[in-house]
Structure 1
Amino acid sequence: MRILALNPYHTGSHKAFLEGWMAHSRHDFETLTLPGHHWKWRMRHAGATFAAELLSAKPQAALGGVNAVWCTSMLDLASFYGLCDHRFRSLPAMVYFHENQLTYPTRHDDPRDQHFAITHLTSALAAIQRAPGLSPSIGWNSAYHRDGFLTATSKLLQKMPGRELDHLPDMIHDASVVLSPGVQLGDAPDTVEATRSERDELLHILWVGRWEHDKDPDAFFAALKKLKKRGVRFRLSVLGESFKQVPECFATAKKRFADEIVRWGYQDSRAEYEAALREADVVVSTARHEFFGIAVVEAVAAGCFPVFPHRLAYPEVFGEDERFYYDGTPDGLADHLMRMNVGDLPGLDHAVVERYRWEHAAERLDAAMARLGGGHAG
């Protein structure tokens, strides 16, 4: 089948998702994308922009035979359908939620704009109305994400005058399918373990989260400060994407842990990033927000042992192995890391992350789109 993929925020995990899927898919794709910045503007104008681009910029012949539309929740799908060429208005679509603006954490000085939440709901309705039969048309990266969104939607609709849309959460639930992202896995486990066996006995701690408040870096560095105060020696690599506004704790930590730091900041190439993952022993999260966690899945796939709070999507993604989790506090994290030694780190069943390999994830995405597009096999 032929899919028209619309990606209004084509950077980071959104870009990696689409490119990874296309590289492993049996389907054909036409894509329209916009650079990944100014997300509020993208949510407002991308539907109109893509509709106009379909009318003028794209060669018309290349768009023949499109069977279905795929877009992220950053697109106002209803406005796209209202403005696009008539050939696309009746096509079924899947809206894929990487994140949402109903439950995404906001800073105390940044009040939530419910207009963006309503955009999610009208996009979902537009997709549901065009889906054939019982074909799922709303995709989620985790059940945790879906359930949190539906709970928040119910609370939002209770505030709406008239309450005419109280049925919407049930409609979205019935139209939903969980389609976890794929990841690019690194070396085979035996190669990773051989590399690690050549290193010293200092525990190498890895951070891969974005440098933003919702990942709670203050808690991470507070735990490391406790380790250092207790005389525990370790190595540290702090990776992850940073933006113009970076939490102050990163600058403080760069000075405080200068003797422990091996790598600091966003890596210049994929090869350097994967090398950094293979060098580390444990990957730590202190996140207050995580709908899936592509970066931590990649780290675990590279051989890092997971050290996560028992919350968010982590139990769903990684299972209920109690060795993976601490109590979610800086003290609990410090205690957990103190008990870990390089020489006797627990063995990790790589089946934990094998199901997220792109070869498997693409099959699930392809099947969902084929069902939505009328059973087209490829």
Structure 2
Amino acid sequence: MRVLAIEPYFGGSHRAFLKGWETHSAHDFTIVDLPAFHWKWRMRHSAITLADEVNRLASQGERWDVIFCSDMLNLAEWKGLVDSQVASLPKVLYFHENQLTYPSQQPREWDYHFAFSNFTSAIAADEIWYNSRFNETEFLRELDAFLHRMPDFQPSHHIPLLQEKSSIQPPGVDSVFANKLEEEATDLNTSGSPLVVTWAARWEHDKDPETFFKAIRLAITNGVNLRLRVLGESFKNQPPVFGLAKQEFATYIDEFGYAESQSQFVELMQSTDVFVSTAIHEFFGISAVEAALAGAYPLLPQRLAYPEVFDLEENPDRQKFFYGGTAESLALALGRCHDLKKAGTLSTGNLKVQLQRYTWPNRAPIMDEAIAKLAHK
């Protein structure tokens, strides 16, 4: 089967998602994409730019059976601009995130256009896939509130129709993270060595780095012997806390910045004791899953998609992987992990095995079947 995959922001997790699925899929993919640059501009112009590209390919004889696109594309606009044969194909819209719940630092910066683009794209799609139930629930709830703030002609009657064609399809992760040998894991858990703590996320305010560094400060004050790795992609307007923290914690930092390669990132995760997230905006948590597959002990805020992704409700014993979301509760959790490492008992139990379901060899066949079923309706 031939899949036309459209990605206006081909970088980071969006790129990893498509390349991972393509690599492990039984289907043939044509990926039409744009560089991951200026996301707001990408959401505004990509329907035109990528319609032009698809029309060019179609004029050269390219044909497809189904269309897959991310939430960065205004699917309704794109559909109106492409060749009628392409426009008639069944379409899947994948929500990696949504623009209704982004926590803007300045409320005036929030742009209704992007939220409405998500809405019209969802209407135009034949199926809507979300990476988590949390994402779906948040989007539909906020969409209802959003539409009711409009002055008239509030099209909220579409919301039940969106629910009817929605499903949950978690992303896959690279199985290489799970390849650490057991003897390597044992070597890392030596009682006399410092606790290796890794924070890995985009260097932006919605990942709440301030809480992380405050917790580190408290943990050090409480006597926790630790080493720091602060990883992730940085931007021109990154939060100033990173520059301040680099100076304050200079004697504790082993890594600070973007990993030079995928292999280095895997290596760093596999040699991590504790992986920390402080996110206030997260719809799945790929880095957390990768870290746990690599054998790291996750410390996650008990909010967002994390309880769902880590099956907390079905496995109450996993409460130990969650903290209250504050710097104080995180510092206490780091202290507990420090004590466990000193005792040689810092372990995630069977978590690594159970998270194998998120690896691409397991996820790709499920997604292949779902998109083939739509194509053959």
**AA in 2 matched with 1:310:** Q
* Mapping for residues 7-22 of structure 1, pairs under 5 Å: 7-22=7-22
Q: Post-superposition shift, 1:107?
A: 1.3
Q: Residue 260 of structure 2 corresponds to which residue in structure 1?
A: 268
Q: Deviation per CA, 1:267-316: give whole Å up to 9, x if none.
A: 10111111111111010111111100111111111010011111110000
- Select between 286-295 and 253-262 the one with higher mean Cα deviation: 253-262
Query: Paired residue for 1:348?
Result: 349
Select 1:311's aligned residue among 303, 308, 318: 303
Q: Deviations over 1:136-167 (max 9, x none)?
A: x1010100010000000000111234345121
Who is 1:134 aligned against?
none
Q: Does 1:240 align with 2:242?
A: no
**% identity of equivalent residues:** 42
Summarize deviations over 1:4-36 as a string: whole Å, max 9, x none: 100000000000000000000011111110001
Whole-angstrom CA distance in 2 between matches of 1:271 and 1:242: 19
Q: 2:277 aligns with which of 266, 270, 285?
A: 285
Q: CA RMSD in A?
A: 1.6
The equivalent position to 1:170 in structure 2, one of 144, 151, 160, is 160
Question: Where in structure 1 are there 5+ consecutive unaligned residues?
Answer: 132-136
Deviation at residue 3 of structure 1 after TM alignment = 0.6
How far the C-alpha of 1:332 sits from its partner, in A, is 0.8
Query: In the alignment, is the contact (CA less than 8 A) between 1:284 and 1:307 conserved in 2?
Result: yes
Supply the AA of the counterpart residue of 2:345: D
* Mapped partners of 1:200, 1:108: distance in 2: 46
Cα deviation per residue 1:207-238 (whole Å; 9 max; x = unaligned)? 01111111111000001101122232111111
Q: Which one of 321, 328, 333 corresponds to residue 331 of structure 1?
A: 328
Equivalenced residue count is 365
Moved more, 187-196 or 7-16: 187-196
CA contact (8 A) 2:148 2:154 kept: no
Residues 1-378 of structure 1 correspond to what in structure 2 (within 5 A)?
A: 1-56=1-56, 60-61=60-61, 63-64=62-63, 66-108=64-106, 110-127=108-125, 131=126, 137-185=127-175, 186=177, 187-188=179-180, 190-197=182-189, 200-320=192-312, 321-340=318-337, 341-342=340-341, 343-349=344-350, 350-374=352-376
- Alpha-carbon offset, residue 195 of structure 1: 4.2
Instruction: Summarize the Cα distance change of 1:297–1:79 in structure 2 as closer, same or farther, 3 Å threshold.
Output: same
Shift of 1:241: 1.2
- Structure 1 window deviating more from structure 2 (81-90 vs 345-354): it is 345-354
Distance across 2 between alignment mates of 1:245 and 1:145: 27
SS of 1:344 mapped into structure 2: coil
* Distance (Å, rounded) in 1 between the aligned partners of 2:191 and 2:173: 27
TM normalised by structure 2 equals: 0.93
In structure 2, distance between residues paired with 1:153 and 1:112: 15
Q: Post-superposition shift, 1:109?
A: 5.7
CA distance in 2, matches of 1:215, 1:164: 33
